[in-house]
Amino acid sequence: MSERAEPLPRTAKRFDPMLYRLSCLLLLTLSQPVFAEDLELPDARGYLGSDTCISCHEQAGEDWRQSHHALAWTETSPENIVADFDGTSFHQGDMEARFSLSADGTPRISVTEIDGVTTEYPVHSVVGIEPLQQYVLETEPGRLQSFDVVWDTEQERWFHLYPESDYPPDDSLHWSGVYKNWNGRCAACHATGFTANYDSETRSYASTQVEIGVGCEACHGPGAAHVKWVESLETTQTPPPAAYGFPVDMSDPAAAIDQCGTCHSRREHFYDGNPPPGLPFNDAYNIVPLHAGLYEADGQILDEVYVYGSFLQSKMYAEGVSCNDCHLPHEATLKADGNAVCAQCHSPAGNPRFPDLPLKVFDGPEHTHHPKGSDGAMCKNCHMVERVYMGNDWRADHSFRIPRPDLFPVTGAPDACSTCHADKTAKWAADQIAEWFPDSDKRGPHYGEIIAAGRRDPHAATPQLETLATAQDQPGLVRATALWLLDNTSDPAVAEEMVKLFDDPDPLVRAAAARLQRRTGPEARAENLPDLLDDPVRAVRMSAAQAMLTGQPGRMDAVAMADLRAALGEWQASVQSRLDFPETHLQLGGTALVNRNLPAAASAFAEAARLDPQQVDAWVMQARIALAQGDQQTAIRVLQEGADANPGAITIQEMLMDLTGGAGSLLPPGK
Residue 372 neighbours by CB distance under 10 Å: 10
Residues 503, 564 share a domain: yes
Structural domain tally of the chain?
3
Sign, CA dihedral 90-82-329-326, equals positive
Residues 600, 561 share a domain: no
Residues 485, 542 share a domain: yes
Let me know how long the chain is: 671
Say which residue, 594 or 11, is predicted with more confidence: 594
Per-residue pLDDT reduced to its tens digit, 326-354: 999 999 999 999 999 999 999 999 999 99
Considering the chain, what is the average pLDDT of its residues?
Answer: 91
Percent of the chain with pLDDT over 90: 89
The stretch 195-209 carries a mean pLDDT of 96
The answer as to whether 111 is a domain residue is yes
Residues 156, 114 share a domain: yes
Residue 21 has pLDDT above 60, yes or no: no
Residues 559, 599 share a domain: no
Of the CA atoms within 13 Å of residue 223, those in its CB half-sphere come to 21
Residues 608, 521 share a domain: no
Structure letter (DSSP) for residue 375 = G
Beta strands in 275-381 (DSSP E): 285-287, 327-328, 333-334
Residue where a domain stops, chosen among 548, 570, 592: 570
Using alpha carbons, select from 283, 307, 285, 278 the residue that is nearest to residue 295: 307
Residue 163 has pLDDT above 50, yes or no: yes
The answer as to whether 112 is a domain residue is yes
Q: Please name the residues in contact with 488: beta carbons below 8 A apart, sequence gap of 6 or more.
A: 458
Q: How far is CA 347 from CA 340, 344, 363, 461, in A?
A: 10, 7, 8, 41
CB 168 within 8 A of CB 114: yes
Percent of the chain with pLDDT over 70: 92
Residue 268 neighbours by CB distance under 10 Å: 15
Angle at 348 between CA 342 and CA 352, to 5 degrees: 75
Say which residue, 74 or 552, is predicted with more confidence: 74
The answer as to whether 338 is a domain residue is no
Residue where a domain stops, chosen among 171, 189, 207: 189
Residues 561, 491 share a domain: yes
**pLDDT score, position 34:** 32
The stretch 472-487 carries a mean pLDDT of 98
The stretch 201-224 carries a mean pLDDT of 96
Domain at 656, CATH number: 1.25.40.10
pTM here is 0.91
Q: What is the residue type of 654?
A: E
Residue 594 has pLDDT above 80, yes or no: yes
Euclidean distance between the first and the last CA atom of the chain, given in angstroms as a whole number: 56
Work out the pLDDT band at 664, boundaries 50, 70, 90.
low
The answer as to whether 56 is a domain residue is no
* Beta-ladder partners of 211: 192
Residues 27, 82 share a domain: no
Work out the pLDDT band at 671, boundaries 50, 70, 90.
very low
Q: What's the CA gap between 578 and 274, in Å, rounded?
A: 13
Of the CA atoms within 13 Å of residue 483, those in its CB half-sphere come to 33
Residue 485 has pLDDT above 60, yes or no: yes
The stretch 375-399 carries a mean pLDDT of 96
Residues 486, 542 share a domain: yes
Structure letter (DSSP) for residue 307 = T
Residue 667 has pLDDT above 50, yes or no: no
Residue where a domain stops, chosen among 147, 167, 189: 189
Residue 654 has pLDDT above 50, yes or no: yes
Residues 479, 543 share a domain: yes
CA Rg, the chain, in Å?
27
Residue 500 has pLDDT above 80, yes or no: yes
Residue 449 has pLDDT above 50, yes or no: yes
Per-residue pLDDT reduced to its tens digit, 240-288: 999 999 999 999 999 999 999 999 999 999 999 999 989 999 999 999 9
The stretch 169-175 carries a mean pLDDT of 96
Judged by average pLDDT, the poorest of 17-31, 81-95, 146-160, 361-375 is: 17-31
Which domain does 509 fall in, by range?
17-39+448-570
Q: What's the CA gap between 505 and 519, in Å, rounded?
A: 23
Residues 611, 548 share a domain: no
Residue 666 has pLDDT above 70, yes or no: no
The answer as to whether 95 is a domain residue is yes
**pLDDT score, position 663:** 59
Residue 37 has pLDDT above 60, yes or no: no
**pLDDT score, position 589:** 95
β pairing state of 327-328 and 285-287: unpaired
Sign, CA dihedral 242-244-246-249, equals negative
Residues 173, 105 share a domain: yes
Structure letter (DSSP) for residue 382 = H
**pLDDT score, position 30:** 37
The answer as to whether 108 is a domain residue is yes
The answer as to whether 264 is a domain residue is no
Work out the pLDDT band at 551, boundaries 50, 70, 90.
confident
The answer as to whether 175 is a domain residue is yes
In this structure, which long-range contacts are made by residues 135-144, counting pairs with CB atoms below 8 Å and at least 24 apart in sequence?
135/83, 135/107, 135/109, 136/73, 136/182, 137/109, 139/176, 140/204, 141/204, 142/183, 142/204, 142/205, 142/206, 142/207, 143/181, 143/183, 143/204, 143/205, 144/181, 144/182, 144/183, 144/187, 144/205, 144/207
Judged by average pLDDT, the poorest of 504-508, 531-535, 657-661 is: 657-661
**pLDDT score, position 20:** 39
Say which residue, 295 or 22, is predicted with more confidence: 295
CB 498 within 8 A of CB 521: no
Say which residue, 13 or 440, is predicted with more confidence: 440
Using alpha carbons, select from 76, 56, 38 the residue that is nearest to residue 220: 56
Exposure class string for 34-55: b at 16+ Cβ within 10 A, else e: ebbeebeebebebbbbbebbbe
